[in-house]
């Protein structure tokens, strides 16, 4: 504001007062938005922690079963059993608006609803542990998809929080103080001008009275 040229008039003063009122209102709205984003972000963080533990536990169980199956079956037999999957998955995505942030929502649909389609092999030459591994992987897949959705939501909310916080700080520490300083400067100049005008009027009045007295 020190480098700005301000014309100390009442019209400019009124303009700054209106801008200050708008800035304060915008600051409150942005601050409320930032607080609500933080609340939503903390909820997503909590959900992310729960899902991550659940997914890690599910994957650990699945890989344990797969390790046992690998020990029982030969590598060639295991590769042949899993070479041609029978089930296919179609992934879809839509967006949900959360405090002006479009967060993704993932969902998937299998080609058919038969649970046995996750096994792309006959049961005669494979171990039960391989069946368990595929079953556990199929079960944890939905949780993995939800975890990916939650983590992306966290990233988007964190970016929006940072952007909103910068705007709040710019209003609170830069724009609003500059407007208040400008209003004080204009008010001071207007008061000085008013005082100068009063002094001039008193001087003119005094001169007029002196001239009137000389004429009499």
C-alpha–C-alpha distance, residues 121 and 197, integer Å:
100
pLDDT, tens digit (0-9, with 9 covering 90-100), for 4-29:
678 889 999 999 999 999 999 999 99
Nearest Cα to 136, choosing from 67, 72, 77, 71?
Answer: 67
Dihedral of CA atoms 45, 51, 56, 62 in degrees, nearest 10, equals -160
C-alpha–C-alpha distance, residues 96 and 15, integer Å:
39
Calculate mean pLDDT across residues 168-194. Answer: 93
120: phi then psi, degrees, rounded to nearest 5: -90, 25
**pTM given for the model:** 0.74
The answer to whether residue 43 scores a pLDDT higher than 80 is yes
3-state secondary structure at position 36: helix
Calculate mean pLDDT across residues 166-170. Answer: 95
pLDDT at 123: 61
What pairs with residue 175 in β-bridges? none
Domains in the chain, CATH or no CATH each: 10-206 (1.10.287.3240)
pLDDT at 125: 65
pLDDT at 2: 47
C-beta separation of 23 from 182 below 8 A: no
C-alpha–C-alpha distance, residues 171 and 115, integer Å:
57
The answer to whether residue 170 scores a pLDDT higher than 80 is yes
């Amino acid at each position: 504001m020190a480098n700005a040229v301000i014309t100390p008039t009442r019209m400019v003063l009124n303009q700054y007062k209106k801008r200050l009122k708008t800035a304060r209102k915008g600051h409150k709205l942005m601050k409320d938005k930032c607080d609500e984003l933080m609340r939503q972000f903390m909820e997503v963080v909590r959900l992310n922690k729960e899902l991550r533990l659940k997914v890690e536990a599910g994957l650990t169980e699945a890989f344990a079963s797969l390790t046992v199956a690998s020990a029982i079956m030969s590598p060639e037999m295991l590769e042949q059993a899993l070479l041609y999957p029978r089930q296919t998955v179609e992934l879809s995505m839509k967006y949900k608006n959360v405090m002006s942030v479009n967060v993704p929502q993932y969902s998937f649909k299998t080609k058919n609803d038969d649970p046995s389609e996750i096994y792309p092999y006959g049961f005669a030459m494979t171990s039960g542990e391989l069946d368990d591994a595929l079953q556990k992987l199929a079960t944890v897949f939905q949780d993995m998809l939800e975890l990916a959705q939650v983590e992306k939501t966290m990233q988007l909310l964190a970016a929006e929080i940072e952007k909103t916080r910068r705007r709040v700080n710019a209003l609170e520490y830069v724009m609003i103080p500059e407007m208040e300083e400008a209003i004080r400067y204009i008010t001071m100049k207007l008061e000085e001008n008013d005082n100068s005008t009063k002094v001039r009027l008193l001087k003119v009045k005094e001169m007029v009275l002196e001239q009137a007295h000389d004429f009499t």
